[in-house]
Structure 1
Amino acid sequence: MAEINLTQQEADKLIGMDKFLTDTTNITLPIAGEKLTLGCFSLNKREEFVLDCFRGTIKLSKVTHQMRARKVVPLVRLDIDAAPHQNPDGTEVGNTHLHIYSADYADKYAVAVPNTFTNLADIAQTLIDFMKYCNIKNTPQINGGLF
């Protein structure tokens, strides 16, 4: 699959764009080692997005939520209880961190998780907070809960 590079302006526009899930029926969180993938679209339906939720196999507290644009471009990724991350400039962030697309580093740069994420120990709440962070406007009922 070809790599798609975005300008910072394009990435910021895609991240800030209102998004809508294609299916708003109840979501059941993935079990250990499984992945949940949901389609999203922009209001004018010109842009398509993919929301991924991965669950760790051995370490159930390890979770990744990711928002992709154009099927392959990771715009935002939340890693919970993963390995500490070293950024390309040598700075480090802890086990739980947020990657935001950068024209210089793609998804290789991470920052501390903002306090808009209200309870990182609750996978359902974290997914709701991630959807809000990514501007998904039609958040469905989520079945699942604490790690």
Structure 2
Amino acid sequence: MLTDPEARRLLDAVKTLVSANKINFPSLQSYITLEASSSQTSDRFQIDIQRKTLNVKKCTYQTRYKKSINLLRIDIEGPAHPNPDGTEIPCPHIHIYREGYDDKWAYPLSSEIITDPNDLVQVLINFLEYNNINKIPEVISQIEVN
């Protein structure tokens, strides 16, 4: 388990994708995982883009640390998320690691984080920026994602 300051340090760390290749945005019913590392420490991260559904508008973007600690997640399209206090947060929303709760708390998704939740490729670019990924490669999409 991480403390909130440790999670914040990990989220704020400048990161570089291990592969500088273009990113192939996943098609429906598939997903990709990008490997990243901190340029300041030896920390490593996995960034998942999941479209394991037939709903063309639904996508989940997630940042993991040590393969099993979910630091950050954005859900586009889907049901509202029930928070531990009983409040419900509609999609799109963001989950940020919280000590003692992991990623069980969701928050409304700000337009300062994601500029257009209807453009799934742009959401990926914004998500990578929010993760402090430097040198974001081009994202290629062979399918219509809007």
Shorter-chain TM-score tier: over 0.9
Select 2:132's aligned residue among 120, 124, 135.
Answer: 135
Considering only aligned residues, what root-mean-square deviation do their CA atoms show, in Å?
Answer: 1.1
Do the aligned residues in 1 keep the contact of 2:71 with 2:96 (CA within 8 Å)?
yes
Residue in structure 1 matched with residue 65 of structure 2 by the alignment: 69
TM-score, structure 2 length as denominator?
0.94
Is residue 57 from structure 1 mapped to residue 53 from structure 2 by the alignment?
yes
Select 1:115's aligned residue among 111, 118, 138.
Answer: 111
Is residue 124 from structure 1 mapped to residue 121 from structure 2 by the alignment?
yes
SS in 1 for 2:123: helix
Q: Structure 1 regions of 5+ residues with no counterpart?
A: none
CA distance in 1, matches of 2:100, 2:31: 29
Do the aligned residues in 1 keep the contact of 2:60 with 2:73 (CA within 8 Å)?
yes
SS in 1 for 2:95: strand
CA distance in 2, matches of 1:143, 1:67: 20
Count of matched residue positions in the alignment of Structure 1 and Structure 2: 143
Q: CA deviation at 1:45?
A: 4.7
Q: Structure 2 regions of 5+ residues with no counterpart?
A: none
Do the aligned residues in 1 keep the contact of 2:56 with 2:145 (CA within 8 Å)?
no
TM-score, structure 1 length as denominator?
0.93
Do the aligned residues in 1 keep the contact of 2:14 with 2:40 (CA within 8 Å)?
no
SS in 2 for 1:75: strand
> 1:17-70: CA deviations, max 9, x gaps?
111100111111111110110100001451000000001422111100001111
Ranges of 4+ aligned residues in structure 1 off by more than 3 Å: none
Residue in structure 2 matched with residue 18 of structure 1 by the alignment: 14
